[in-house]
Amino acid sequence: MVRIAILHDERPARPGRVTPEMTERISAAGGGAQVFCASSEEELMRICPDAEALCCWAMDCPSRWIEGAKSLKWIQSLSAGTEGLDPVRKSRPDVVITKMTGVFCLPMAETAVMYMLMLLRGMPFFIRSAQKHAWVKPPIGSSPREAAGLTAGIVGMGEIGDHIAEKCRALGMKVLGCRRTPTGEEKADRMYPLSDIKEMLPLCDMVVSLVPASPQSRRMFGAELFGSFKQGSYFISMGRGAAVDEEALAEALRSGKLAGAALDVFEKEPLPEDSPLWDMDNVIITPHTSAMSPANMERAADTICENLKRFVNKEHLIG
């Protein structure tokens, strides 16, 4: 009988609950698997010191528990990314690591469209004016704009990018996509390999970064790349904050190269209080919440169940 542990504590940064119904589903998917739920590493070590499978948020990696879990063969990340589990890859190369698929697409796509419409309609300016009780029209040349007819560029095009593309089209927008190596299955009107990103950027009114963390992507959105953006375009950062050079971004906003930005992720979180981005009238800042939804854990259960079936049957795991 397979033993699977779930490490998850309900808090603002990790919304959603592991319900009895969910554990029953997971147990059934594993042919009667034993499911152990813990809210801390200490509890995990106490109630299930040696499971064969673990579900946890990548950034909450229980390294001490993993060190002692000699039967561990598989870790299912509850996150879309798995870079927080990189130490495990080095210390336990025998352990298979999989990421979540399909869980965060809907909230991130809705958030991306919200950012786009807020930027185009001048909401950062209006919100700041309202806080001052000031009835002020936007400056000349900054009138609210329509999304229809504009072009959105999605860098790091994948599953989440496909969902954003569908919603952009519903607004009448054209969608360009960029990823290291396009597959031909992306839902963009045209795809560009990452090597041709400078060819794509000048065509985009909106650029959405969904770039994952890697040594190659660190600060890729710097002065040189921002220089390739269309004059007066907008930048939305929802992937990993380390992909953006925040000083170069601030300068692009000051110079008017960028008309505005919506930022959900940052190189250092929380964003330092002395960052100039806080005080810019054309910037939206949210605290890494674009993927949050109470429905995430229910969707995550679908992936866990599918992979657990495959794990029991010694089949290839997805993600």
What are the residue numbers of the active site?
240, 269, 288
What lies within 8 Å, CB to CB, of 170 at 6+ separation is none
55 vs 14: CA distance, rounded Å:
14
Rounded CA-CA distance 60/32 in Å is 27
Calpha distance 141→231 (Å, rounded): 13
